[in-house]
Amino acid sequence: ETGVTQTPRHLVMGMTNKKSLKCEQHLGHNAMYWYKQSAKKPLELMFVYNFKEQTENNSVPSRFSPECPNSSHLFLHLHTLQPEDSALYLCASSQALHPDGETQYFGPGTRLLVL
């Protein structure tokens, strides 16, 4: 266990549904990340939060809406998704954002299928 949990682990939703992914870290970290892992593509960074403030939005469509109410919790709200959004969504955390980089600890991911 890395200290980062994600729920649900699996999610099937229709294109008109609204759902949310949840991530929680028990490591006392201050930076949290959302990544998307699609089949046969490299892991893609979506959002970065540092001390609850969003510091990076990697040109993610507005149908993905992140929320970070505190340093331990991160949500990804989903609405009107497309089938091509089906992927493994991974959450990660690190101590903070540091110029030399920090080891990131990943959760197990949420496997999302959009029908």
Partner 1 sequence: KQEVTQIPAALSVPEGENLVLNCSFTDSAIYNLQWFRQDPGKGLTSLLLIQSSQREQTSGRLNASLDKSSGRSTLYIAASQPGDSATYLCAVSTGANSKLTFGKGITLSVRP
- What is the contact mask toward partner 1 in residues 49 to 68, using x (rule: CB under 8 A)? -x----xx------------
Using DSSP's 3-state secondary structure scheme, residue 85 falls into: helix
Among 21, 68, 87, 92, binds partner 1 (CB under 8 A): 92
Q: Which is nearer to partner 1, 71 or 94 (CB)?
A: 94
Count the alpha carbons within 13 Å of 21 in the hemisphere toward its beta carbon. Answer: 30
* Binder among 71, 81, 94, 114 for partner 1 (CB under 8 A): 94
Cα(60)–Cα(106) distance, integer angstroms? 20
Q: Tell how far CA 56 is from the center of its chain.
A: 12
Q: Which is nearer to partner 1, 57 or 82 (CB)?
A: 57
